[in-house]
Amino acid sequence: MKRYSIILITTIVMMFVPYYSTAQQYQPLPDSNASWIIEYDDGFGGTYFGRFLLSPEHDDTVINSISYTKIYYQLMDNDTVYYGAFRNAGNGKSYFIKRFTSDEHLLRDFSKNTGDTIYDVDYEYQLDDQWILDFIVDSTDFVESGPYTLKIMYLNTVVEDTIPEQGYEPLVWIEKTGCFAGGIVNSFSGGLGAITFYCMQYNDTIYFNNPGAWWFIKEQITYQNGQCIYPVGIENSSMDAGIKISPNPFTNRLTVSNIPDIDEIEIKIINILGQVEYSKRLINFRQPSMTINTAQLNPGIFILKIISHNKLLLSRKIVKK
């Protein structure tokens, strides 16, 4: 009898091992070349936009002997500035270091569940305001999105009214995507000056598209080919080695100038569905400028990308009239 009990227990354990193994495979944030657009309420019925960008190369900076990826920030059409650095640490955790500091704080921890307390979480409001807070997990949920099952976490501060602007809205984390309000950083979504996660793009794929929604909608976490088109008022940043594109908008010709002296260059023009409509790879080109015949393109919005040795030199929204 004892022998059969051992066999039965072993069988039950083996049945659940794959489940627990699968459950622990957390999907990390992108490690490079991603952008998050955030919509801000100006308090007077209007909106304005900001954008977080992840450096084209992961692990591009070292702080306290640890590798991080730089985060940049752009408010409307202002200059892009260095915001901080983050790293994925495995097991659903990621960390953040604010610019001008060297202190690391927790950014996300998806290993926690309902009722758990998460300590020393970095909480941001634009460039200057920062809090380090403790949160309790109110509840969790899951959403099927493309090939992934993503965990959603709803959190509130352990100490009530720690952030007066927070209002009644909890902090919401979305696995692989970020925070509902702050995108890559954590921020509030309710109250005066509310912030809404507008969209998120990684390479040539929209990971999240939620324009105009006041609250988080699970169905708007989508994994599909396409581009996260910048709202009016946001231009592409100058993380582009000084390369210039003109004219923009354009008609049948587009000139790329101030090209670095490099031995290999690849140029792609991608439509809003993620389809490559123009692609050209040049070896030993070494010219400061080139002209692209765009007569075959239909009027619309595109993304022009310039790549060298798998390194993204430029990603720019262009418009054909």
Report the chain's mean pLDDT, rounded to a whole number: 78
Query: 10-24, 191-205, 273-287: which has the minimum mean pLDDT?
Result: 10-24
| pLDDT tier, 16 (very low <50, low <70, confident <90, very high otherwise) | very low
In angstroms, rounded to a whole number, what is the distance separating the alpha carbons of residues 174 and 223? 13
Q: Is the pLDDT of residue 84 over 90?
A: yes
Distances in Å between the Cα of 204 and the Cα atoms of 108, 200, 228 are: 25, 11, 9
From 317, 159, 140, select the one nearest 233 (Cα to Cα): 317
Q: Is the pLDDT of residue 37 over 60?
A: yes
The reported pLDDT for the residue numbered 63 is 94
Residue 126 tokens read as 């634009």
- Indicate yes or no: pTM above 0.75: no
Q: Is the pLDDT of residue 69 over 90?
A: yes
Torsions phi, psi for 295 (to 5 deg): -60, -30
Write down the H helix ranges in the chain.
2-23
Torsions phi, psi for 114 (to 5 deg): -50, 130
Handedness of CA 62, 68, 69, 70 (dihedral sign): negative
In angstroms, rounded to a whole number, what is the distance separating the alpha carbons of residues 160 and 141? 23
In angstroms, rounded to a whole number, what is the distance separating the alpha carbons of residues 216 and 224? 19
The reported pLDDT for the residue numbered 212 is 57
In angstroms, rounded to a whole number, what is the distance separating the alpha carbons of residues 128 and 317? 29
b/e code 132-148 from CB counts within 10 Å (16+ = b): ebebbbeebeeeebeeb
- In angstroms, the first-to-last Cα distance of the chain is 81
Residue with token string 């794959």: 18
Alpha carbon 181 to chain centroid distance? 12
Residue 81 tokens read as 């500035």
What pLDDT digit, counting tens, does each position of 99-135 carry?
Answer: 888 999 999 999 999 999 999 999 987 667 888 999 9
HEC states along 234-246? Answer: CCCCCCCCCCEEE
| pLDDT tier, 166 (very low <50, low <70, confident <90, very high otherwise) | low
What pLDDT digit, counting tens, does each position of 215-230 carry?
Answer: 667 777 777 665 566 6
The reported pLDDT for the residue numbered 116 is 97
Torsions phi, psi for 169 (to 5 deg): -90, 130
The listed range with the strongest mean pLDDT (17-31, 81-95, 270-284) is 81-95
Q: Please report, rounded to a whole number, the percentage of residues in the chain having pLDDT higher than 90.
A: 27
Domain map of the chain by residue range?
A: 34-225, 244-320
| Residues 6 or more apart in contact with residue 161 via CB below 8 angstroms | none
Number of H helices, E strands in the chain: 1, 22
The reported pLDDT for the residue numbered 215 is 67
278 beta partners: 269
CATH (one of 1.10.3720.10, 2.60.40.3080, 1.10.8.50, 3.10.20.600) for 244-320: 2.60.40.3080
In angstroms, rounded to a whole number, what is the distance separating the alpha carbons of residues 195 and 129? 14
- Is the omega angle on the peptide bond into residue 249 within 30 degrees of 0, that is, cis? yes
284 against 194, higher pLDDT: 284
What pLDDT digit, counting tens, does each position of 186-241 carry?
Answer: 987 665 566 778 888 887 677 887 765 666 677 777 776 655 666 655 544 444 55
143 beta partners: 150
Residue 10 exposed, middle or buried by CB count within 10 Å (0-12, 13-18, 19+): exposed
Q: Is the pLDDT of residue 60 over 80?
A: yes
